[in-house]
Structure 1
Amino acid sequence: MSTLAKFVASWKKHGGSGGLASAEGCVLRIDAKGNICDQSRQASPLVALWRQGEPTLTELVRKARASHVPCDGRFEDVAGANFWLVAVPEGDECIIVGRDTTLPDKVTEALMRSRALLKELLDSAVDVAFEVDADQNFRFITPVEAFGFKTEMWLGRAASQLFWPKGDAPVRNPFASKVSAHFDAVPVQLEGQERRWLHFAVHPQLDENGNRISLRGTCRDMTARFLAERKAKQDSLRFTLLQRITNSLNSSETAQELMDNASEALQEMLRADMVWAVVKYHEGLVPISITGSRHEILDLDTIWHSFDGRSGAGVIEGEDRAHLGIRLDLNDQALGMVIISRDTEVSPWSDQEKQLLDGVAGVLTAAFSKAELIDRLYRLSSKDDLTGLLNRRALAETVEARLKHQCRTDLSGCLVFIDLDHFKEVNDTLGHQAGDTALKMVADAMQNMIRPCDYAGRYGGDEFVLWLEDMKAEKAADKIRALLDMMPEIRKAIGGEDLRLNASIGLCQSRPGVDLSFVELADRADAVLYEVKGSGRGDIAIARDETDIVAEDA
């Protein structure tokens, strides 16, 4: 029970149900007009404050009446006496309880001062006091034993060589300081020992010309505190990262938004300039989110296989930098991986950052799983009734989302526009049921030739559209030619082998950061499709990039 609640309970026990004359302590009751209508025998100081219109007390009563809950506050009078005040609303009236806390406050203040003095004494304790000469060689050191060594063996030896025997002395070497200074959490590794973190306080001794002739100082082992603070910071970072990704899990409406938010959180927390979120499909690895300012093409397959036989986060060596990565699995099923990059010549990946990434692997796995579920549900809710492909609206939304994403990834996809030739002849000759069968067979063929990261949709009537993620135009044309090869089989299946049913196909590769509209991209693909129709139908044409046309005209 809080102190405020105890006060309220005490008042109700000793005077709340009747008059306040017998109530313990300093208590008074005021009515709606601010008149004192009852008081305890010890309430004189409180009565005086109320009649003086003490602002702290009147504001406390106003807040209690406005909120209809007890409020408390503190007040110090001109004589230095401290009071704790509580206002308890009771209908139109208000009960005010006061307690003189001067004595306990002064005791607390004295204890705090004593604690501060004790801390100063403890902080002044040191493990080693020393003096080095102008060449940084020890010429005095105490006590006789420190850090497990007999310090007399250090006399005459170079301090930096003893504290950093591997030659990795810090840039701000305390033994080389030219001014009085404090150096906190300096990493040292004495011969044959684990790394320590020391606090140095140094004071150079100068001659009449200002030249350093020696340096006196102390050092204190702060390894335990440093490791505890680092762990606390690591835990805080992990909690913050977990919270951000979890919030994204709960609030993101699309799979793309979810993965982008998770990637951005990793980029910020790990001070990276690039994060790749890569999904493992049966057909291969596909980046679904790339955030950051640095664009680089990675050998995803090599990175993926570098995790074989390895658990947890690890460092992957690149051409000019090392990446931090982790592979994500759920119930022995590979989901994908996250790769994080920054300039490791300036800031190499630390063991703590690997542990941080390991610590959020679970929530990243959940993010990948939910992103896959969101994408699957979106496709199911956006289907064309006849073919099961995406409908026109969903297709346009999806392609425009991918085009906007390409502004950040600098990757390129292909939009394929398919128009069935002489489809009306099928309906007129064999009936609409045969026409529907033909449309379904074309849709099935499209579904069978695309990857999970690609999208297939019915644009309307006998027109279809494919979006092929991260694919060049020539490869897309080779892939889609399988549909033309299937047309004789479709004609045979509907009983119209003598019919002219075929397909004309126009293909357009997107330009990252330029093409942002589905309609504009579809118009370019449609334009070359009609070139195919004009030259005999049943073939594929690729829209030429406008930059290539301008270069040729020049």
Structure 2
Amino acid sequence: MPEPRDSQQTLVPELSAVQPLHLDVVGLMQLSQPVALIDAELGVIAANRAFLSEPCLLEPGSQSLSAQIVVALGKLDGMAGGFVGEVTFKPSKGARAFDLLALSLSREGNRLLFLTDHSIDTEWRNALIESRARFKDLVAISSDYAWETGADRCFTAISPKGLAGLGAQQLIGRLPDDLLDPERPAPPVLPFATPVPVNGVSLWLRHADGRSLCFEVAALPLYDRKGAWAGARGVCRDVTESQRQKASLASKRNAERLFTRITSIFHSQANPDDMLRVAASTCTHGFSANGSQILVTTTPLVKGITKVVLEVMAAFGSCGSRSETDQAVAQLPKARGDASRIVELVDWSLLVAPTIYAGNLIGAVLLWRNRERPAWTAEDARLLQNVAGQLAVAIQQRTNYHVLLDVSRTDPLTGLLNRRAFYEEVQRRFHRLRRSGHLAAMVYADLDNFKLVNDRYGHKKGDDILRQMADILRGNTRSVDLVARLGGDEFAVWLDDADEEVALRRAQIFMMAGEVLEHSSGSADKPLKISMGIAVYDPTLNEDINQFVSRADAAMYAVKRQGKGNFGLAPPAKPGRKRS
């Protein structure tokens, strides 16, 4: 027996030292795997039952090896035996795969073939490969990105196309936290390091080009055999556009609700002035502004008008100064059409919209925000533009209302208050005097011999005289006083906060100013003059309004009976019963 080559070698002898081997034919027949004895011509001498039961190993209707085995044996390149490799058969009922081993026998040219059937293993492997490919395709279809993190929370695997503008190689070994958008709120637990399964988590990442992207993430935690957290695995898809569309739709719906609420509230007001006041309040709250102003122009933007003058008609909340308002209003003529615009001042950010009616600028709405509030958005601008369209109608209604109100309260010939409007206002002031305790005076005036002017010169001259009389009274009273034409050639003046001395002095002024009327007399012996009666109201005497008016009227007729062209003071009122 040969000696081992060194002390480290095994004491097992080599096969060459063994006596010739004899095969146990019975044992070969009982093997579960196919075995066959072939000659030098590749003819089958004998085979066990397992071999004979596999029709694919033999050519149909013969005892010759199948072509696949013959081809495989040719790969031995002249060697008598050895491991040939895998031989695959693809019959109609399913693929079969065998590992082929050829052993050389002592008889020249004879070989023993051993085949190991691993068809099931191959099918399983192919099925696994196909399943993995299918799963990979499904992941790619159902999500934009797949990823995995390790125990250090860094990326260990990611889809080939990368994430947020970075390639897969750039992300491996990198913390996902570096991708987060710092300007967006992050979830309490990041999906990349989640200890529990999560689904539908919204996560904002900053793209490599600076854009903010929203991803919807689903993730599962990974644990090692000891139960320690070992990372996470998940998928995510880019839902930025979907989120923007949802946000836009929600913003539009909110704007519609806000628009409906704002317009319904101020349209519910019957009085146009109240409508504008309520609109200013509603806009302030609806737009989360510090304050708002609604302005009305006295010079509609029509041909020939080069400067627009706007006056604040309603305001609510905290607004800027008059000069700041003027700065914002100055931007309006530069705006195109009815578009709203943002005006930035030192301490304020304003959203300004013109109110256009029938193509004319009739007002504007200004919303004020200080620097602590959010910046105006495009949606705010669109909403205010729509609100301004409704306000334009409200402003025009207010204008029409006041025109009608002025017509109903004004004498068309002289422009003075008419009888109804005068007594309504006197009644309000009369009640106010009772509470304040102040004095007031009433002057009744009548033109003497006025009928002769009409008879001699005509009614046109008479109308001129009435207008001249109105100018005399109006030009010699204060803005707080009331002047009215009661009808025909009768006039009345309410002197606010006037005692007997003030009333008499005012009557003297009226008489002096009225001397110019004598030049228009209808007859020299019957000159055109003024007769006036004066009554002073003292709230301590508890006189009612009818008694007060009657005293002034009686004083005027007393002057007429005494020769006309003068004024007289009514005697004081008698103390009346105290009113509760």
User: TM-score interval w.r.t. the shorter chain?
Assistant: 0.3 to 0.5
- Which has the higher relative contact order, 1 or 2, with Cα contacts under 8 A spaced 6 or more apart? 1
TM-score by length of 1: 0.46
Which of the two has higher C-alpha Rg? 2
TM-score by length of 2: 0.44
